[in-house]
Amino acid sequence: MLLAREGYPFAGIAIAIAAAIQLFAGTAWAFPFWIASLFIVQFFRDPIRVVPSGDHVIVSPADGKVVAVERIKNPFGDSEVTRIAIFLNIFSVHANRIPISGKILKRSYISGKFFNAAFDKSSSENERNVLVIRTRDNQEVTCIQIAGVIARRILCYVDENDYVTTGQRYGFIRFGSRVELHLPAKYEVTVSIGDRIKGGCDVIGSTA
């Protein structure tokens, strides 16, 4: 298990505090701080993932539970899309991954509220970061990072005109969140509500 770079300062400070209390006050006083350190390390874990091969596969952009699969009108265009919503709790891996190779056509940040990311209204009302990817088959796939009630920091490391590849790590959301995909209606979806999936390695759909 690897530690995400976003977690280095948090883990370092927590471990340093726990170690200092252990040294000067003893194990009993330090124990809660060691527990907090372990929680921080597990939250920022970033395991290596084996990305499936094939240009036609769509992988999950995040670890979590599928809480919505439905056809909607594209809020960022005029077409009909399939919306897949994935809820990440505090024990999920919070690194985000590119669902399918292509070119970033648009990146936009939308300010908003911080409702619980398990609630459907968070999709339209919470703070979020939107990526629109032009795929190799000339379709548009939208990937949305959504902050939650605790998450107050969305990190995104790709920008417009960047070329990205399936499974590529592109961002991180701190402390509980939601990630959504809007897929072209003609794409096949292979997940259902209630499924638990892993980012970068679990196939959730196909362009075929």
β-pairing, 177-184 with 196-197?
unpaired
The answer to whether 177 is a known catalytic residue is yes
Predicted confidence at residue 147, as pLDDT, reads 83
pLDDT tens by residue, 172-196: 987 668 899 999 999 999 999 999 9
d(CA 140, CA 133): 5
Q: Which of the residues 37, 60, 122, 177 is marked catalytic?
A: 177
Predicted confidence at residue 152, as pLDDT, reads 62
pLDDT tens by residue, 44-71: 888 889 999 888 999 999 999 999 999 9
Question: Are residues 129 and 151 in contact, defined by beta-carbon separation less than 8 angstroms?
Answer: no
Predicted confidence at residue 63, as pLDDT, reads 94
Domain 57-206: CATH architecture, name and number where available: Distorted Sandwich (2.70)
- Sign of the four-CA dihedral 169, 174, 178, 182: negative
Predicted confidence at residue 184, as pLDDT, reads 94
**pLDDT beyond 80 at 208:** no
Reduce the DSSP state of residue 141 to 3 states and report it.
strand
Q: What is the mean pLDDT of residues 128-133?
A: 94
Tell me the pLDDT of the chain averaged across its residues. 89
- Sign of the four-CA dihedral 156, 127, 73, 78: negative
pLDDT tens by residue, 133-163: 999 999 999 999 998 766 567 889 999 999 9
Predicted confidence at residue 42, as pLDDT, reads 86
d(CA 47, CA 57): 21
Predicted confidence at residue 115, as pLDDT, reads 64
For the chain, give every domain's residue range.
Answer: 5-43, 57-206
What does the block give as tokens for 31? Answer: 């124990």
Predicted confidence at residue 101, as pLDDT, reads 96
Determine what percent of the chain falls in helix, strand and coil, rounding each to the nearest 5: 20, 40, 40
**pLDDT beyond 80 at 117:** no
Tokens 């908003």 locate to 112
More confident residue, 42 or 169: 169
- Sign of the four-CA dihedral 141, 146, 83, 42: positive
